[in-house]
Structure 1
Amino acid sequence: MNSEAYGAELAAAIEAGFRRNANTGEHCHSLADAYMASLARSSLPEDIEGHKKYDHLVAWSLQKSNASPGEVVKTFNHIRVKAVRVAMQIAQRRGEIGQHEDLP
């Protein structure tokens, strides 16, 4: 499977996860990671700012100082959903998924 078809399939899986649960996406964190990695391996990523924003959010989600005790998982998921939405924005611009009104 070529990288464009692989990326399009990952984007469709992310979109399907958000159809099941529009607030958090269902099982989308790792799909978004794989999608963004597949784009990075392709020739030149056309959305450098999107990649930077995605990487920043993922790094932020892993910082220990983000949440108070008892809120770690909730905070991690909240930040990672923001990152997944960035991946979905990139997929929209590439025409790999449909338009979603709830994406900034």
Structure 2
Amino acid sequence: MDIDAYRAELAAAMEAGFRENINTGEGCHGLADAYMATFGESTLREDIGACKEYNRWVEMSLNTDTYRSAGEVAATFNYIRVKAVRVAMKVALRRGETEAHWTLH
């Protein structure tokens, strides 16, 4: 399978996750990680900024210094990770791999 077909499958799977739960993108964290990992040295200029933004959100989600309790850690991690997933969905939308309405919420 070539990289474009693989990327399209990942985008379709992320989109299916948003159909399951529009607020969390059910099960999309790993899919978004895999999707964004497909962008390497041949990344289009528009995707470089999105890759940096995605990485920033993921890094923020892993920084537990600002969390106060175990419940807050889980809630904050998931909230921030959904922001990262939405960046991946916007990249997929720009590339024509998803429908527009999933990124508008």
TM-score of the superposed pair, with normalisation by structure 1? 0.91
RMSD: 1.5
Change (3 A) 1:40 1:100: farther
Q: Using the alignment, how far apart are the partners of 2:56 and 2:19 within structure 1?
A: 25
Q: Using the alignment, how far apart are the partners of 2:60 and 2:53 within structure 1?
A: 10
Q: Which runs of 5+ in 2 are unaligned?
A: none
The letter of the residue matching 1:25 is G
Q: Using the alignment, how far apart are the partners of 2:68 and 2:14 within structure 1?
A: 29
Q: Using the alignment, how far apart are the partners of 1:77 and 1:55 within structure 2?
A: 15
List, as ranges, runs of 4+ consecutive aligned residues in structure 1 with deviation greater than 4 Å: none
SS of match in other structure, 1:44: coil
1:17 CA displacement: 0.1
Alignment correspondent of 1:92: 93
Whether the 8 Å CA contact 2:54–2:84 is kept in 1: the answer is yes
Alignment correspondent of 2:82: 81
Q: Using the alignment, how far apart are the partners of 1:101 and 1:9 within structure 2?
A: 16
Does residue 53 of the first structure (1) align with residue 53 of the second (2)?
yes
Q: Which runs of 5+ in 1 are unaligned?
A: none
In the alignment of these two chains, the number of paired residues is 103
1:64 CA displacement: 1.6
Whether the 8 Å CA contact 1:14–1:88 is kept in 2: the answer is yes
1:101 CA displacement: 5.9
- Larger % of helix: which? 2
| Identical aligned residues as a percent | 56
Does residue 16 of the first structure (1) align with residue 16 of the second (2)?
yes
* Per-residue deviation, residues 31-81 of structure 1 (Å, max 9, x unmatched): 00000001236x223311111100000000000213211311111000000
SS of match in other structure, 1:15: helix
1:102 CA displacement: 4.5
